[in-house]
């Protein structure tokens, strides 16, 4: 049974390896080396052949891939972005995860979150690979703890932000101009919109030069300060798709549609991704592209052969 972050269609690499979300690179490597030694054949000389095979599968199919993601700069950054998005999702809808673990439920009601979280992680991780038949159970409990930790930390971060408007309002009580600005919200939204427009404008300039990586950086900075901007998530998903990073394109496309189901850019990316995953849909999309490009194909040209596949959708589609 899946639990924790696994319920949100996210591979919880931290849970697989058995260390906390707050661990640094040195701690992660130390934990990985310990687990790798524990599952190595030389450490299992007295175990049955079945247990040795199970250990080998755990190491090659789960532990090594998890560490590879977290140890590589690019994939680690992408995973961190995904974690932040899942944290926002959980903060808004905590009931998305069914917390069956007593430790996770206790953490959700704790006033000393970080200390209890670290202690619980260490307790489970210390025995995580002792019984190889119970590894899944331990990983799932660790994943529930990670989900609970993200929810609690999001709540703690939101407290100062929630108190600021009241403090500001009390300080501006004597100023009619300030009161009007605070009530209407006219000053700050306009400034915020201007900042977003600047990011998007620069991203479009880089897109025109086909420098998608720099355009992506611009939009990621925009989302760091404006995480609930559907246009930014949608545009970022489009650039990820153009650069061939379909996983990240899918992540930001889903976020954009969650914020604004009618966003046309996100809908277009969704259609492109669906066509790429479905060979029949991809062939149909390629055929439509060929029909739009030229109404009367040259004699002997096979329908759908021109510009087929996902790459034609990335670089040959309509630009907005």
102 and 237, same domain (yes or no): no
Same domain flag for 195 and 151: no
Whether residue 220 is contained in a domain is answered as yes
Are 50 and 8 part of one and the same domain? yes
Structure tokens at 181: 């600005």
**Is 165's pLDDT higher than 50?**
no
Q: Are 181 and 205 in contact (CB under 8 A)?
A: no
Please tell me whether residues 138 and 198 are part of one structural domain. no
Question: What confidence tier does 209 reach under pLDDT thresholds 50, 70, 90?
Answer: confident
Residue 168 lies inside a defined structural domain of this protein: no
The answer on 211 and 140 residing in a single domain is no
Domain containing 208 — which CATH number?
Answer: 1.25.40.10
> CA–CA distance from 197 to each of 91, 103, 202, 222, 237 (Å)?
27, 45, 9, 9, 17
pLDDT at 144 over 90: yes
Buried-state track 198-235, b at ≥16 Cβ within 10 A, e below 16: ebbebbbebbeeeebeebbbbbbebbeebeebbbbbbb
Q: How far apart are CA 309 and CA 275, in angstroms?
A: 9
Residue 305 located in a structural domain: no
Based on its alpha-carbon atoms, the radius of gyration of the chain, rounded to whole angstroms, reads 24
Q: State whether residue 121 is helix, strand or coil.
A: helix
60 and 147 co-located in one domain? yes
pLDDT at 201: 84
Residue 202 tokens, joined: 């620069």
Q: Is residue 248 part of a domain?
A: yes
115 confidence band (pLDDT: 50, 70, 90): very high
**Residue 303 and residue 290: Cα distance in Å, rounded?**
7
My answer on whether 193 and 151 are in the same domain is: no
Q: CA distances (Å), 287 to each of 165, 219, 223, 278, 320, in order?
A: 55, 32, 36, 14, 21
Q: Is residue 123 part of a domain?
A: yes
Instruction: Read off the pLDDT of each residue in 44-67 and give the average, rounded to a whole number.
Output: 94
Whether 151 and 22 share a structural domain: yes
The domain tally of the chain equals 2
**Cα gap 120→214, rounded to integer Å:** 41
Cβ neighbours, 10 Å, residue 81: 17
For residue 239, give its domain range.
189-291+311-315
Confidence of residue 163 (pLDDT cuts 50, 70, 90): very low
Per the CB < 8 A criterion, the answer to whether 10 and 143 are in contact is no
Largest CA distance in the chain: 80
Say whether both 136 and 26 belong to one domain.
yes
Question: If you average pLDDT over residues 138-144, what whole number do you get?
Answer: 94
Give SS3 for 130. coil
Mean pLDDT of the chain: 77
Q: Identify which of 76-85, 165-174, 213-222, 254-263 has the greatest average pLDDT.
A: 254-263
| Same domain as 108, residue 239 | no
Residue after which a domain boundary falls, among 107, 132, 155: 155
Looking at the structure, tell me whether residues 253 and 141 fall in a common domain: no
Q: Which two tokens stand for residue 143?
A: 């994943």
Domain stops at, among 108, 129, 155: 155
Do 144 and 204 lie in a common domain? no
Inside any domain, residue 304: no
């Amino acid at each position: 049974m899946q639990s924790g972050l696994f319920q949100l269609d996210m591979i919880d690499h931290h849970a697989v390896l058995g260390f906390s979300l707050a661990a640094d690179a040195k701690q992660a490597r130390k934990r990985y080396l310990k687990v790798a030694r524990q599952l190595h054949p030389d450490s299992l000389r007295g175990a049955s052949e079945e247990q040795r095979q199970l250990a080998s599968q755990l190491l090659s199919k789960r532990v090594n891939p998890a560490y590879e993601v977290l140890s590589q700069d690019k994939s680690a950054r992408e995973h961190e972005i995904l974690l932040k998005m899942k944290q926002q999702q959980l903060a808004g809808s905590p009931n998305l995860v069914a917390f069956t673990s007593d430790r996770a439920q206790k953490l959700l009601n704790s006033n000393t979150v970080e200390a209890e979280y670290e202690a619980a992680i260490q307790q489970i991780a210390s025995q995580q690979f002792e019984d190889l038949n119970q590894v899944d159970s331990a990983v799932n409990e660790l994943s529930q703890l990670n989900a609970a930790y993200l929810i609690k930390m999001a709540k703690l971060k939101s407290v100062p932000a929630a108190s600021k408007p009241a403090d500001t309002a009390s300080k501006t009580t004597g100023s009619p101009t300030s009161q009007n600005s605070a009530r209407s919200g006219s000053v700050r939204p306009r400034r915020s919109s201007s900042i977003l427009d600047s990011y998007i404008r620069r991203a479009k300039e880089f897109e025109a030069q086909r420098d998608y990586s720099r355009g992506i950086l611009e939009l990621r900075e925009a989302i760091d300060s404006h995480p609930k901007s559907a246009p930014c998530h949608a545009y970022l998903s489009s650039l990820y798709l153009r650069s061939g990073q379909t996983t990240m394109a899918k992540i930001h496309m889903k976020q954009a549609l969650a914020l604004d189901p009618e966003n046309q850019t996100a809908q277009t990316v969704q259609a492109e991704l669906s066509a790429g995953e479905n060979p029949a849909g991809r062939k149909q999309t390629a055929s439509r592209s060929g029909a739009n490009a030229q109404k009367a194909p040259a004699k002997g040209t096979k329908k759908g052969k021109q510009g087929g596949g996902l790459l034609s959708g990335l670089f040959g589609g309509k630009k907005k």
